[in-house]
Amino acid sequence: MKIVMLGAPGAGKGTQAKQIAAKYGVPHISTGDIFRANLKEGTELGLKAKVYMDQGQLVPDSLTLELIMDRFSKDDCRNGYVLDGFPRTIPQAEALTKALKDNNDRLDYAIDVDVPDENIINRMSGRRACAKCGGTFHIKYNPTKVEGICDLCGGELYIRNDDKPEIVQKRLVAYHEQTQPLIDYYRNEGILKTVDGTQDVDKVFEDIVAILEA
DSSP letter (8 states) at residue 57: P
Partner interacting with residue 35 (select from Zn ion, Mg ion, ligand AP5, none; CB below 5-8 Å by kind): ligand AP5
CB 198 within 8 A of CB 119: yes
Among 4, 9, 150, 157, binds ligand AP5 (CB under 6 A): 9
CA 99, CA 91: separation in Å to the nearest integer?
Answer: 12
For the chain, the C-alpha Rg in angstroms (whole number) is: 16
CA 214, CA 207: separation in Å to the nearest integer?
Answer: 10
Catalytic residues: 13, 88, 127, 160, 171
Among 19, 111, 112, 136, binds ligand AP5 (CB under 6 A): 136
Site string for Zn ion, 137-166 (x = CB under 5 A): -------------x-xx-x-----------
Burial class (CB in 10 A: 0-12, 13-18, 19+), 98: exposed
Pick 129 or 192: Cβ nearer ligand AP5: 129
Would you count residue 59 as binding ligand AP5 (CB under 6 A)? Answer: yes
Would you count residue 186 as binding ligand AP5 (CB under 6 A)? Answer: no
Among 48, 100, 133, 141, binds ligand AP5 (CB under 6 A): 141
Would you count residue 81 as binding ligand AP5 (CB under 6 A)? Answer: no
Cβ 136 to Mg ion shortest distance, Å: 6
DSSP letter (8 states) at residue 101: H
174 Cβ contact list (under 8 Å, min separation 6): 56, 57, 58
Pick 100 or 152: Cβ nearer Zn ion: 152
Count other C-beta atoms under 10 Å from residue 180's C-beta. Answer: 14
Contacts (CB under 5 A) with Zn ion, residues 117-136:
130, 132-133, 135
CA 174, CA 171: separation in Å to the nearest integer?
Answer: 5
Cβ 163 to Zn ion shortest distance, Å: 17
The residues of the shown chain that bind Zn ion, judged by CB under 5 A, are 130, 132-133, 135, 150, 152-153, 155
